A and B are shown apart, each in its own frame.
Chain A
Amino acid sequence: MKTRLGLSLFVILLLTYSFTSCVNSNLEEPDPYNYDSDLIAIYNSDWGMIPLPNNFLNPVIQQNIVSIPGVPASDEPVIYVTLPIVDEETANHRTALGYTSEYGFTDPQEDSDLTKSLITGMNKLNGFVPNFTVSIPFSKKLDLETLKGYEPETENVEEANFFLIDITDPEKPEAIGPSKYTMLFNMVGSELPPYDLRLRFNPDDGFLPDNFAQGHTYLIVMLGWTDRGVQSLPKDGEQAQPLVSDSPYLMFAQEDFFKEEGLSYVTPEGVLRNSLLHDAADVYSAEGARQITDYGLTIWLKMMEELMPEGAEPITRADAALAFHFSISSNPMPNYFDPLALILFGSPVVPEPADYYRGEIEEDIFVPEFTVAKAKTDATPSFTVELPLAEESLKTSAFRLLEANADGSYFEKEFTVAQSREDEETVVTLTPAAVLKTCTEYVVAVSNTITDTEGLPIADQSYFGLARANTPLVSNISDESKTLSGTEPWWLSPRLDSRLDTLIADVLTNPLKDGIVSQEELDGATKQVNMVLSVLEQHRLKYQKPIEYLVESNFVATRQDLAIMWTFTTDGCAE
Chain B
Amino acid sequence: MKNIKKIIATNSLLIMLLLTLASSSAWASGFYVQEMSAIGMGQAGALVASGDRPSSQFANAANIGLLDGVWFEISGSTYIPVGEYENPRGDITKSTTDPIFAPQFFMSYKILPWLTIGFAEFVEFGLALDWPEGWEGGHSSHHSEISSFTLNPNIAFGPFCSDGKDYGPLCGLVIAVGFNAKYGFIDIRRSITTGLVPPGEDPSGTLRLTGDAWGFGANAGILYRPVKWMTLGFSYRSMIKMDLNQGKANFDVPTPYASRLPDQNFDSSLSLPHIIFSGVRFEPIENWTLEVDFQWVMWSVYKELEFNFSEGLEVGPGARQYTTVEEKNYKDVPQVRFGTQYKFYDNHFTVAAGILWDRNPVPDESLDALLPDSDRIIPSIAFGTEWYGFYADVGYMAVFFMDRTTEASSGTTLPGTFRTFTHNVTFTIGYHFDLVDGKPSLIK
- Contact check, B265 vs A27: say whether CB atoms are below 8 A apart: yes
One of A96-104, A500-508, A558-566 contacting the partner: A96-104
Judging by beta carbons under 8 Å apart, are B196 and A318 in contact? yes
* Known interface pairs A30-B258, A273-B139; A281-B6 also in contact (CB < 8 Å): yes
Which of B27-35, B395-403, B412-420 is found at the contact surface with chain A? B412-420
Instruction: Decide if B111 is an interface residue (CB 8 Å cutoff).
Output: no
**Alpha-carbon distance between A185 and B212 when the two chains are bound, in angstroms:** 54
Smallest Cβ-Cβ distance to A94: which chain B residue? B316
Q: Nearest-CB distance from A323 to chain B (Å)?
A: 10
A569 to B141 Cα, complex, angstroms: 75
Hey, which chain B residues are within 8 Å of A418, CB to CB? none
Cα A264 to Cα B191 with chains together (Å): 14
Q: Nearest A residue to B251 by beta-carbon distance?
A: A30
CB of B191 within 8 A of CB of A271, answer no
Is residue B317 within 8 Å, beta carbon to beta carbon, of the partner chain? yes
Interface assignment of A492: CB less than 8 Å from any CB of chain B: no
* Residues in chain A near residue B212, CB distance under 8 A: 19-20, 23
Interface size on A, residues (CB 8 A): 92
B198 touches A68 (CB 8 A): no
Q: Which residues of B contact A319 (CB under 8 A)?
A: 199
A372 interface hit (Cβ, 8 Å): no
Contacts A12-B151, A31-B255, A265-B193 hold; do A225 and B2 have CB atoms under 8 A apart?
no
Interface residue B187 (Cβ < 8 Å from any Cβ of A): yes
Measured between alpha carbons, how far is A306 from B22 in the docked complex, in Å? 47
Cα A277 to Cα B18 with chains together (Å)? 9
Q: For B185, list chain A residues within 8 Å (CB).
A: 19-20, 22-23
Stretch from A239-247, A390-398, A441-449 at the B interface: A239-247
Q: How far is the CA of A283 from the CA of B70 in the complex (A)?
A: 62
In this complex, how many residues of chain B approach chain A with their Cβ under 8 Å: the count is 78
Task: Return the contact of A98 from the options B107, B136, B199, B318 (Cβ within 8 A).
Answer: B318
* Contact yes or no, B15 A278, CB < 8 A: yes
Task: Please indicate the chain B residues that have their CB under 8 angstroms from the CB of A268 in the complex.
Answer: 88-89
Q: Which of A33, A43, A273, A316 contacts B7 (CB 8 A)?
A: A43
Instruction: Find chain B residues with CB under 8 A from A4 CB.
Output: 72, 107
| Distance between Cα atoms of A200 and B217 in the complex (Å) | 72
Complex CA gap A292/B4 in Å reads 10
Q: How far is the CA of A167 from the CA of B107 in the complex (A)?
A: 78
Decide if B257 is an interface residue (CB 8 Å cutoff). Answer: yes
From B15, B88, B151, B193, give the contact of A269 (CB < 8 A): B88
- Cross-chain contact A84 with B248 (CB below 8 angstroms): no
* B150–chain A nearest beta-carbon distance, Å: 11
Q: Which of A19, A96, A252, A275 contacts B139 (CB 8 A)?
A: A275
Query: Given A276-B13, A276-B192: A103 and B318 within 8 A (CB)?
Result: yes
B263 touches A251 (CB 8 A): no
Bound together, the chains give a CA A68 to CA B3 distance in angstroms of 13
Most buried by A among B88, B195, B318: B195
- Using CB atoms, name the residue of chain A closest to B263: A27
Other A-B contacts than A25-B210, A273-B413, 19 sampled, CB-CB below 8 A, are A11-B121, A16-B149, A30-B258, A30-B263, A33-B259, A43-B9, A84-B5, A100-B317, A247-B194, A247-B260, A250-B194, A251-B8, A273-B193, A274-B139, A274-B193, A275-B140, A275-B191, A276-B194, A279-B15
Between A and B, 20 residue pairs with Cβ closer than 8 Å are A26-B250, A44-B9, A57-B4, A59-B1, A59-B3, A82-B5, A97-B319, A98-B315, A100-B318, A244-B198, A248-B8, A250-B194, A251-B8, A264-B193, A267-B408, A274-B139, A275-B139, A275-B190, A277-B8, A288-B4
The 6 residue pairs across chains A and B that have the minimum distance between CB atoms: A98-B319, A45-B7, A30-B258, A251-B195, A25-B248, A103-B317
- Which residues on B are within 8 Å of A, measured CB to CB? 1-13, 15-16, 18-20, 70, 72, 74, 87-89, 103, 105, 107, 119, 121, 136, 139-140, 147, 149, 151, 183, 185, 187, 190-199, 207-208, 210-212, 248, 250-251, 254-265, 315-319, 408, 412-415
